[in-house]
Amino acid sequence: MPAFIKVSEDRIFHLGNGRISYVLNVSAEGVVEHKHFGQAITRVDNLPRTEKRVHRSCVLHHQDVPNYNLNDVAQEFPLFGTSDQREPALHIVNDDGNTTQVFRYVSHEVSEAKPALSGLPSARGDDSQSLILTLHDDVVNLSLELSYTVYADHDVVTRSARLINNSDVAVSIDKIASTCLDLPADDYDLLHLKGTWARELNEDRFALPKGRFSIDSATGTSGNVHNPFMAIMDRSTNEHQGRVVGLALMYSGNFAITAELGEFDSVRVLAGINPFNFSWHLPAGDSFTTPEAVQVFSAEGLNGMSQVWHGFVKNHISPPQFANQARPTYLNSWEAAYFDINEDVVLELADRTKDLGLDMLVVDDGWFEGRDDDTTSLGDWFSDTRKFPNGIEHVGALVKEKGLKFGLWFEPEMVNPKSQLFAAHPDWIIHVPNRVSTTGRHQQTLDLSRQDVQDYLFERIDSFLSSGHIDYVKWDMNRNMSEIGSAGLAKDQQRETAHRYMLGLYALLEKIVTKHPNVLFENCASGGNRFDLGMLRFMSQSWVSDMSEPIGRLPIINGASYVYPISVMASYICPVPSHLNGRQVSLKTRAEVGFFCAARGLSLNAEDVDADKEALKDIAVSYKATADDLVNGAFYRVKNVEQEVCWQLNSQSGQHVYLGYFHILSAANLPSRHIRMVALEPTADYRLQGTDQVYSGDALMHMGLDMPYVSAMQTTDDEFMEAGDFASRLFVFERV
Ligand code: DGJ
């Protein structure tokens, strides 16, 4: 069924697609009330009754309407100052200093074209219907537009808000959310993704407590402590059953998502730019647009929710030219050579890349003027002619002559104080006057709110990409903001700096990716410090985490998969012992965990490559043969318990099914382990590759299969895992 938006005469709005419904209505007082987000509803002309509580004592009667208390009403964009004392979606300081606003519904518009958001990334809108509700506050003469889009093929509603100052005085926005989702009283669980550097995106689920639970960032990035995503579900929801609402922001800077279990047991979820340390001076005649919030619904548990996210990211967020393209396999120079790189080393690594049968060589750091370690040279985006006498583009051309693709690392948003750029433009960094600027990885953040900074970076990056010898860019970003202020902004605009930085970054990215549509971009921020829908709108893939060691990566990929498809994830086979945690993990396990990311490669030096050459060649063959399935297939979390993780990937046609089983710590006398597969065709037959065993889909799903036994014995017998810790097995089934 196509997406639809139906509007009844008594101002009930029904957004749907036959599977989900989003229902809101306008009350007699002009308040936009929220009615439903969930399974499809056929009749909205006569909605089930909403019981009104009899309000007593200190409880308020909104604008004198008996027993109409906004504290007890689900709303689309709640305001502060009248009868709702929960956290509001908007907080504005009016010209006369008070903070009360009353926005009332004025009009609406339905369209097939999804309007783009000014200066901000947003989901593409094909096969969708959009609604804009316009509200107005007559006293302060401000308008508010609430935008919604519902999609035919995805159970998603996107939202954003725009505040327009029609008055002749400026106002100050202290808070403006992208969305509010008021859910009815019930028992809910909350799931979010938390962590830190190299341990990002770990899942955390708990019963929503009374009060407010917030995740946020004030680092200038969406951050690695909390991902800008939250799911609220019925307490009984599990992986395959139950209702769940997931919400993620398409924003890469400071965000906040709050879930409030209020006095009457309803839940309010608010998401948007973090109001902490934010204030926006909105002059007369100007407007402010919020980032977009993406909300998904599934009645089929967390897996159902993830499938909606994966399909939506692929079809409406990822750059379309790469969304369905098999990713090149690669050798990355970082853990292979770090800064010790020059033309000879690169060409030698290129020979290894070619010899192994990989597709691309990536020079990761160390190639630009003076960059011998991480204390120097960020900002000086010129080839280091000591290392590359004819320029890095020339090396790119030589690498390409070998039949390979060539990739290059940049960290455009940063500058080392030890650099020519900083010497020439000390004012170009985020800073506040008369204070020492804190460093992080010996670097400062360039002030991307400035047009001159954006122009310099565009000119430098464009000069390399225009050579035509660069197929891939790893866009890195390795510190958080401190002493947040801009020399380019007035005193009363200093708290706009972090958001203006994001607008500057998005403008720069838009310009670069538009001019170079055939360059594949990978997002990285010390791994997953900015792994969000905003960056994924410009970049086809993301370095999920600096944790390249596979066992450390298991919970990261598992957590990330709640929202993000593996088509956007990058991994490589790391050296051993791991440079991150010292673990010694077999090549087999490194390759089999790495298998479950669409962009796959290795970061090994020439010696490491030579030591395992034949095995690495086999891995390259397998990675290349399955590259299309990784981008276009469907990923499932099958098991995630203390010592075991199991994932399944079904190719798009269902012809190939990959089951990865990972056993973390070995122990004596363990019980047998059993896995039930998912999402197979019940009556189809599946042959287990490498054997003549054929099983029916329903047997694999409902009866399941025992995993190879975890034993201390060193054995080559297929029925056993390899001895010791960190064992893995990749089963490949073919539908016959
Ligand atoms: C941090 C990234 O996360 C690494 O993968 C690598 O690119 C280094 N930066 C290079 O400096």
Query: Domain containing 410 — which CATH number?
Result: 3.20.20.70
Give yes or no for a contact between 506 and 449, defined as CB atoms under 8 angstroms apart. Answer: no
pLDDT at 58: 77
Q: Is residue 33 part of a domain?
A: no
Convert the pLDDT of each residue in 40-79 to its tens digit: 999 888 887 766 666 667 778 888 888 888 999 999 999 9
The residues that are catalytic are: 476, 546
Answer yes or no: do 410 and 527 share one domain. yes
Looking at the structure, do residues 553 and 409 belong to the same domain, yes or no? yes
Query: Of 602, 632, 662, which closes a domain?
Result: 632
Statement to judge: residues 538 and 669 lie in one domain: no
Instruction: From the CA of 548, give the closest atom in ligand 1.
Output: 5
C-beta of residue 343 within 8 angstroms of C-beta of residue 353:
no
Shared domain for 478 and 334, answered yes or no, is yes
- Bond from prior residue into 577 cis (ω within 30 degrees of 0): yes
Q: Are residues 122 and 212 in the same domain?
A: yes
Residue closest via CA to ligand 1's atom 7 equals 364
289, 330: one domain: no
CATH number at residue 263: 2.70.98.60
Which residue's CA lies nearest to atom 2 of ligand 1? 526
In a domain, 6, yes or no: no
- In a domain? residue 577: yes
The pTM (predicted TM-score) of the whole model is 0.97
Nearest-CA residue for ligand 1 atom 5 is 546
- Number of folded domains in the chain? 3
Q: Is residue 110 domain-resident? A: yes
Shared domain check, 283 and 327: no
Distance from C-alpha of 144 to C-alpha of 630, rounded to nearest angstrom: 43
Query: Of 615, 632, 649, which one is at a domain's C-terminal end?
Result: 632
Q: Which residue positions in the chain have pLDDT lower than 50?
A: none
How many whole angstroms separate alpha carbon 677 and alpha carbon 225? 32
Gap from CA of 508 to ligand 1 centroid (Å): 21
Q: Which atom of ligand 1 is nearest to the CA of 525?
A: 3
Residue 62 has a pLDDT of 86
Give, for ligand 1, the residue of 524, 548, 572 to mutate: max count of ligand atoms closer than 8 Å to Cβ.
524
- Residue 463 CA to residue 381 CA, distance in Å, equals 10
Between the CA of 563 and the centroid of ligand 1 the distance, in Å, is 24
Pocket, ligand 1, Cβ cutoff 6 A: 334, 364-365, 409, 476, 478, 524, 526-527, 543, 546
Residue whose Cα lies nearest atom 11 of ligand 1: it is 365
Nearest CA-CA partner of 635 in 192, 198, 308? 308
Quick check: is 31 in a domain? Answer: no
Same domain, 428 and 576: yes
- Compute φ and ψ for 626, nearest 5 degrees: -105, 5
Task: Say yes or no: 350 and 396 in one domain.
Answer: yes
Which residue segment(s) compose the domain that 724 sits in? 639-735
What is the per-residue pLDDT across 559-585, written as a single tens digit (0 to 9) for each?
Answer: 999 999 999 999 999 999 999 999 999
- Tell me how far apart the alpha carbons of residues 608 and 573 are, in angstroms, rounded to a whole number: 11
Length of the chain, in residues: 736
**Which one of 221, 376, 409, 478 would you pick to mutate in the ligand 1 pocket, going by the greatest count of ligand atoms within 8 A of its CB?**
478
660 is a domain residue: yes
Whether residue 26 is contained in a domain is answered as: no
Is 10 contained in some domain?
no
Contact 529, 537 (CB under 8 A): no
Q: What is residue 55's predicted lDDT score, i.e. its pLDDT?
A: 65
* Distance (Å, whole) CA 448 – CA 539: 18
According to DSSP, the residues that pair with 543 across neighbouring strands are: 570
Give the distance (Å) from ligand 1 centre to CA of residue 370: 17
User: Which domain-ending residue is among 317, 346, 376?
Assistant: 317
Indicate if 649 and 585 belong to the same structural domain. Answer: no
Angle at 245 between CA 243 and CA 247, to 5 degrees: 165
Q: Verify that 250 and 344 share a domain, yes or no.
A: no
Q: Are residues 96 and 229 in the same domain?
A: yes
